[in-house]
Amino acid sequence: MPAATKTDWGSFALEKLQAAGFRRGGARTAVVEALADQDCAISAFELEDLLRERGGGVARASIYRALEQLADLGLLKRLEVCRGTTSYERVEPGGEHHHHAICADCGKLIPFEDNSLERAIDKIAGRMSFDVAEHDVVLRGRCEHCTR
Amino acid sequence: MPAATKTDWGSFALEKLQAAGFRRGGARTAVVEALADQDCAISAFELEDLLRERGGGVARASIYRALEQLADLGLLKRLEVCRGTTSYERVEPGGEHHHHAICADCGKLIPFEDNSLERAIDKIAGRMSFDVAEHDVVLRGRCEHCTR
DNA sequence: ATGACTGCAAAGCCTTTGCACGCAA
DNA sequence: TTGCGTGCAAAGGCTTTGCAGTCAT
């Protein structure tokens, strides 16, 4: 039931923001609500567009500030999709997560998950003298559509 | 014998550049030679510094141009280490490659390789309707030194 | 009332582009 | 000689910062 997960993230994020001492400003709340609706990573630019379409436009600076705060609290994860632009994706409270295949032609993001991949990474993390907090896996190539 | 591999990459790159119709300019050659000496990924900024120290300073634009050409020919791989800066790493002709753990505190890059990780990724690639050309795995956290 | 939040504009940072000169072929 | 390669400076694109007005608490 993905809808429930999304709602969960939104309220979870707002609670965590409040617990961290943030007030409930309109711009940040709008950013949280927009992010709660996304299925995959979104860039600051796309988010700005989305918020403008929704009516309550939010200043670019406020968007970046909110994204940074959310990322710092561990509520968002950064992901470089196109060269030079960062996209942001929800971090689910439960820890479930996916990785991405990115089409070099059209930029499409295709999410995937795989248990044996996670196990392999956990094993590596376990034997390294490095405190692994998170991991990214990105596949690059061409999507089904662009291959033809 | 890492030294041999490095030398190999340098001549391999120069040959491939020539085969692609590029002339043998001084700036690009200096970039290739500097990259041949690196043990891990390096940013354009670090490369500029390195080349300046070596005496034959190379213009920033020429560095970026060379890096782009090398990456387009598949001789370099791009890697985002710090937020907002791209680093470049040799792609070995033999296909052997490693991944990276990146310390969030000091930025240190720790390379690692793992067969079961590669196998897991190959299996995923095999069953996706996506033409996977390459993959990145990045572990983020704190290095041994910064944990203490 | 106080200080956080926001919007706007300006500044920053990395990277790319335009252009004229120099060098490889 | 031709036109690719290079350096310099300017422009670009994304992101961050400064500041003054506004709003949550």
Nucleotide of closest approach to A24 (CA, C1'): D24
The verdict on B82 and B122 lying in the same domain is no
CATH number of the domain where residue B140 is located: 3.30.1490.190
Last residue of a domain, one of A90, A108, A128: A90
Structural domain includes residue B29 = yes
Q: A85 and A128 share a domain?
A: no
Please state, in angstroms and rounded to a whole number, the distance separating the CA atoms of residues A28 and A17. Answer: 10
| A101 contacts on B by Cβ (under 8 Å) | 128, 130, 132
CB contact under 8 A, A140 and B139: no
Tell me, yes or no, whether B86 and B110 share the same domain: no
* pLDDT at residue number A3: 46
Inter-chain CB proximity B137 and A128 less than 8 Å: no
A145 CA – C24 C1', rounded, Å: 43
Structural domain includes residue A58: yes
Three-state SS at A76: strand
The confidence score (pLDDT) of residue B1 equals 47
- What Å value separates CA B48 and C1' C19? 23
Q: Give yes or no for CB of B107 within 7 Å of strand D.
A: no
d(CA B39, CA B50): 14
A147 touches chain B (CB under 8 A): yes
Alpha carbon B73 to its chain's center: 13
Same domain, B79 and B40: yes
Q: Are A136 and A124 in contact (CB under 8 A)?
A: no
Residue A122 shares a structural domain with residue A143: yes
CA distance B117 to B95: 15
- Whether residue B1 lies inside any domain: the answer is no
Task: Using alpha carbons only, give the angle B82, A65, B102 rounded to the nearest 5 degrees.
Answer: 20
Same domain, yes or no: B15 and B83:
yes
B110 touches chain A (CB under 8 A): yes
Q: Strand, coil or helix: what is A77? A: strand
CATH number at residue B20: 1.10.10.10
Does B32 map to a domain? yes
Take residue B130 and report the two structure tokens written for it: 């996506």
- A126 in a structural domain: yes
Q: Provide the pLDDT for residue B3.
A: 45
In this structure, are B139 and B113 located in the same domain?
yes
**Which residue range is the domain that position B26 belongs to?**
6-90
Helix or strand holding residue B63 (H, E):
helix B60-72
If one counts every other C-beta atom within 10 angstroms of the C-beta of residue A102, the result is: 23
Decide: CB of A62 under 7 A of nucleic strand D. Answer: no
Give the distance, in angstroms, between residue B42 CA and nucleotide D1 C1': 39
Residue B40: CB less than 7 A from any atom in strand C: no
CB < 8 Å to B43, chain A:
none
Considering only CB atoms, which chain B residues are within 8 Å of A128? 101, 110, 112, 139
Contact between A60 and A48 (Cβ < 8 Å): yes
Q: Pairing mode, if any, of strands A130-143 and B76-80?
A: unpaired
Straight-line distance from the first to the last Cα atom of chain A, in angstroms, rounded to the nearest whole number: 34
pLDDT band at B5 (very low <50, low <70, confident <90, very high): low
Residues A76 and A103 in one domain: no
The whole-number pLDDT of residue B56 equals: 81
Task: State whether B80 and B134 are in the same domain.
Answer: no
Specify if B143 maps to a domain. yes
Total number of domains in chain A? 2
Does residue A106 sit in the same domain as residue A41?
no
Which of B68, B90, B112 is the endpoint of a domain?
B90
The closest CB to that of A142, out of B86, B125, B131, belongs to: B131
Angstrom distance (rounded) from CA B127 to CA B104:
33
The pLDDT value given to residue A75: 97
- Confidence at residue A4, expressed as pLDDT on a 0 to 100 scale: 53
Residues 12-71 of A with CB under 7 A from strand C: 22-23, 25-29, 57-62, 65-66
Residue recorded with tokens 């990924």: B41
Residue B110 falls within a domain, yes or no? yes
pLDDT tens for each residue of chain A, 148 residues long: 444 555 599 999 999 999 999 999 999 999 999 999 999 999 999 999 999 999 889 999 999 999 999 999 999 999 999 999 999 999 999 899 999 999 998 889 999 999 999 999 999 999 999 999 999 999 999 999 998 8
B44 sits within 7 Å of strand C by its CB:
yes
When pLDDT is averaged across residues B111-137 and rounded to a whole number, the result is 97
Is residue B96 left, alpha or beta, with left meaning phi > 0 and alpha meaning psi from -120 to 50? beta
Residue pair B37/B7 in contact by the 8 Å Cβ criterion: no
For residue B143, what are the β-bridge partners?
Answer: A130
Q: Across the interface, do A121 and B137 touch by the CB < 8 Å criterion? A: yes
Q: Which residue is listed with tokens 């290095």?
A: B143
CA distance to A104, A105, A112, B134, per residue, from A145 (Å): 12, 10, 17, 18
Closest chain A CA to residue B147? A131
Query: What are the residues facing B34 on neighbouring strands?
Result: none
Q: In this predicted structure, what is the pLDDT of residue A105?
A: 87
Residue A1 lies inside a defined structural domain of this protein: no
Residues A76 and A12 in one domain: yes
Res A106: pLDDT: 87
d(CA A126, CA B116): 14
Same domain, B81 and B103: no
First to last CA, chain B: 34
